[in-house]
Structure 1
């Protein structure tokens, strides 16, 4: 498991324990985005470890790398979107005093996951972004 996957998973678990999670559309959507990011990162991990890199030909390596670039980029996009949704929730509803610690942990974990994703797969995301921009 990647550290970014663990960060998203931690944030998601804390969000699910947040009091308004079941009743607020913004929190539900943020949870969905976090779930998407988590699943994408898990898929990337499985793909990476399912191939014999030394014995694979160049075409296979190229195809797998392209697939993993897309997965990392999409996971990063989901993390950012989850952050935007959480920001909107905070701006619109605020957080009760007794929920502040849990909220802070949700945000910290998500920020850490995004930072770790950039550290681990920054080049993959940049390559994917360049192909989208062209």
Structure 2
């Protein structure tokens, strides 16, 4: 009896499938980690994410060395700089918005505290 199995997929197709699954699992672990409210669960998903990222990187290197992975073209530095500038502007806008929301919440809390103090003083008189 022959113990040899025959695969319907090539090594490249099998490796590509594994790489795609590792990428998907990375996304799912990242989502799970960011949505976890329990610190221990968050740490578990973070550890799993890091291990899966390592496995994905190793699979990519094996595929690249075996010429199973087609590398993309290099991006122009001007395109990279344009994206960095766009993301920086978005980050600055988000930070300003958060600062305004936080400031308004703080002002609201202060005004409510002052109103409550005034009401208490009026009641005591």
When the two structures are superposed, what TM-score results if normalisation uses the length of structure 1?
0.41
Q: TM-score, normalised by structure 2?
A: 0.43
Q: Identify the structure with bigger relative contact order (alpha carbons < 8 Å, sequence gap 6+).
A: 1
Compare CA radii of gyration and give the structure with the larger one: 2
